[in-house]
Amino acid sequence: MTLPVNNKSGIIVTKVTQFITKMNLAPLPRNYELFFEVLAGHNTAMGRDILELGNSPQQHDIDMIGQKHNLPSFSRMAAAHAATEATNTIDQISTRLSASLERSDALLASISERPASDTTEEYLAELLADIHHEQASLHNFVRQGLEKIREQENSARRLQTASLKDALTALPNRAAFLAKLTEVFQNETDASVCLVLVNVDRFRDINEKYGSAAGNKALRRLAALFRTSIKKDDFAARIGGNDFAFLFSNVSQNTAQSIAERLRHTVENLRFATKEGDGEHLTVSMGVAASEGTVSAAEFYGHAELALLAARGGARNCVIPYGREVAQRSRDSYLMQIGA
């Protein structure tokens, strides 16, 4: 499942394409991910790293920056590379074991081929020393190989974890959210699951007024608030620039709406510091939907998205549940209303 892209994101994607072409880079999905984050203003530090590479960077240098900033595609690629390296190390150990056994067999076979009169104590001592040396060398090779495999496996686990985590807020990212959303329909259970989609109101104005660094700080404050506001079995993720999502298990849509309303009120009272020292309030628009009556993750998400768009198209700073009135309008008509 993929999340829909609005008009603003489409414009940024066009700029990303032009930027990648200008820098003579391959149109790889991971390059689109990196430059989208930069051009959308989500990661200014990564933007500075890119500028330091000049006008014609090498793909390896781009990959290093993507891994440095824990972008999902780059972390997954590095994790896959680490797994491949571990497999290669196992193959090397297997080859060395076979070669060592062959050498040991050859040394032992030389005894039967040698005349008994020539099989002196000195010869046997030399033979045993050769076998001992071969075993010691093999033991050292296997030990180093196993240490390397453990390091590679640990690295793969770290990178896999990083690929599912948002670099800015440390919340689960879009990929983790989509996987979790898919699980809802893979698990055969009658328990109701509710999805709450969150959009920070007029976040572009905050970035333009105070700068992207202040905007990022505000997002981290929100993420910290969201993280401490949910129960152990609930799930919160950052799924876009100023978009978040919650999954609440074993609750009705009315209950999820009440939880969302409390979160909205808490955010409304939140103030984040600015350079001017006055602070700034944030507000959020939220859409709520239940999994009951839906047959796929896409339909479930679509219901919550329509509810969110209805909230954004109205007064904002509100919570709208999915229902008959919300469903009467199309996604495109809502997007046209909010100018997205």
pLDDT of residue 258: 96
This prediction's pTM:
0.66
pLDDT of residue 74: 80
Q: What is the pLDDT of residues 118-176, one digit of tens each?
A: 777 787 788 788 878 878 888 888 888 888 888 878 877 777 777 788 888 999 988 88
pLDDT(238) > 80: yes
Mean pLDDT of 26-46: 82
Q: What is the pLDDT of residues 203-225, one digit of tens each?
A: 888 888 888 888 888 999 999 99
* Tokens found for residue 176: 């983790």
**Contact criterion met (CB below 8 Å) for 303 and 322:** yes
Q: What is the pLDDT of residues 143-153, one digit of tens each?
A: 888 888 888 78
Scored b (16 or more CB within 10 A) or e, 276-302 reads eeeebebebbbbbbbbeebeebbebbb
Residue 100's pLDDT band (cuts 50, 70, 90): confident
Nearest CA to 244 out of 279, 218, 206, 270 is that of: 218
C-beta atoms surrounding 45 within 10 Å: 15
Q: What is the pLDDT of residues 257-309, one digit of tens each?
A: 999 999 999 999 887 766 665 667 889 999 999 999 888 888 999 999 999 99
pLDDT of residue 8: 57
